[in-house]
Amino acid sequence: MNKFRNDFPLFKAIDEQNSKDNNGLVYLDTAATAQRPYIVLNAMDHFYATQNANPLRGLYSLSERATKAYEDARETVAKFINAKENREIIFTRNSSESLNLVAYTWGLANVNKGDEIVVSIMEHHSNILPWQFVCQQKGAVLKFMYVDKDSGIIPESEFDKITDKTKIVACTHVSNVLGTTNPVKKIASIAHSHGAIMVVDGAQSTPHIKVDVQDLDADFFAMSGHKLCGPMGIGALYGKIALLEAMPPFLRGGEMIEYVTEDSATWAEVPHKFEAGTVSAGDAVGMAAAIRYIQSVGLDTITEHDNALAVRLIEGIKKIPHINIIGNKDGTRRCGIVTFTIDDVHPHDIATLLSDENIAIRAGHHCAQPLGAYLGVPSTARASLYFYNTEEEIDYLLSKLAQVRKWSGYKD
């Protein structure tokens, strides 16, 4: 897999030049944001150099080319997750905005007093706070499905919390803390049997495993470009077309209208009803280029490599005293995410000490404080792996983890 590292300017600089600023950097924070290959940067440069005009508005050839590039990007996203049609893809800024869009439109319009919204305890704040807001505004009840603390898996008994009172079930496809892949297809089936809709946070799944929204039967599916080796500031929301057509707009302004009078307006057709103002066309082009690049690497290949590295890391950690893996100990069930603590050493100190050794990991609550509180570990360290990481990097990390307690003043 090392051949792909030359596709990334950051890694090329590290591997070939061993530059002073990036001396030996081991980047293990892909769950926060992935690195960007040349092909993504070049695609965005090409758009702004040769196609830069306001899409959808101009009746001249340059604007038409910009419009085509933007709509081609929509088609790429639709095919990537197997949406039934391109109109089911709404471009947003990120997964957080996608989930808020559903909450503010479908949620506020359909949830009423006494209704229930069910989420898992492992959700990112982006898939909790919007539903807290809807419940507060509408007098509904937010219920949590809890996980087994050892396996990181939701017991089937927790699915009984989905009842005829449930209006929305919102669940992450892959946990950004535990790496757990949730059975969202099964959860969606249960939700639909009770008349509820299924909202899936796919921010962590789309970079690592194949996603088929039709097979999952998700009603809504959120994803971000920057976790897919694409640019920051662009994401997408998939929604079943019948639901999108029935929903009110999220933002109001330019381009999302059909006709405006002094006291009323009618809305443009889906998807443009949800894309107010000048769209981020260059970023959409970059996201599409990233998807094509990921597809060229192969998601099956990525999954296999992620699992192999996670197994190597977890098995190595098991040999080091005082390190505690949070969640499932099987690296093939982690989607490249390995979260841990070290006895008597705060995760922030772990990250700082490793940073001194040119290793970049994440430390903190990972925007999942309810999960940390439930597990009794409010702060953890997280190494997140991807296809551009190597066995040598994992071994280097393990060699430094073995020294962390010593560096912190402990003798064993």
Q: Are 381 and 404 in contact (CB under 8 A)?
A: no
Give the global pTM.
0.96
To the nearest 10 degrees (0 to 180), the angle between helices 38-50 and 61-80 is: 150
Given 135, 171, 229, 367, which residue is catalytic?
Answer: 367
Q: Tell me, what's the pLDDT at 24?
A: 75
Q: Tell me, what's the pLDDT at 20?
A: 47
Which amino acid makes up residue 224? Answer: S
Of 154, 243, 153, 157, the C-alpha closest to 198 is 243
How confident is the model over 24-47, as pLDDT tens digits? 789 999 999 999 999 999 999 999
Q: Tell me, what's the pLDDT at 2?
A: 79
Print pLDDT tens along the chain (412 aa). 778 999 999 988 776 655 445 457 899 999 999 999 999 999 999 999 999 999 987 789 999 999 999 999 999 999 999 999 999 999 999 999 999 999 999 999 999 999 999 999 999 999 999 999 999 999 999 999 999 999 999 999 999 999 999 999 999 999 999 999 999 999 999 999 999 999 999 999 999 999 999 999 999 999 999 999 999 999 999 999 999 999 999 999 998 999 999 999 999 999 999 999 999 999 999 999 999 999 999 999 999 999 999 999 999 999 999 999 999 999 999 999 999 999 999 999 999 999 999 999 999 999 999 999 999 999 999 999 999 999 999 999 999 999 999 999 999 8
Any catalytic annotation for residue 335?
no
Q: Tell me, what's the pLDDT at 3?
A: 87
Of 360, 352, 361, the C-alpha closest to 408 is 352
Q: Tell me, what's the pLDDT at 13?
A: 77
Q: Tell me, what's the pLDDT at 19?
A: 46
- Report the 10 Å Cβ neighbour count for 216: 23
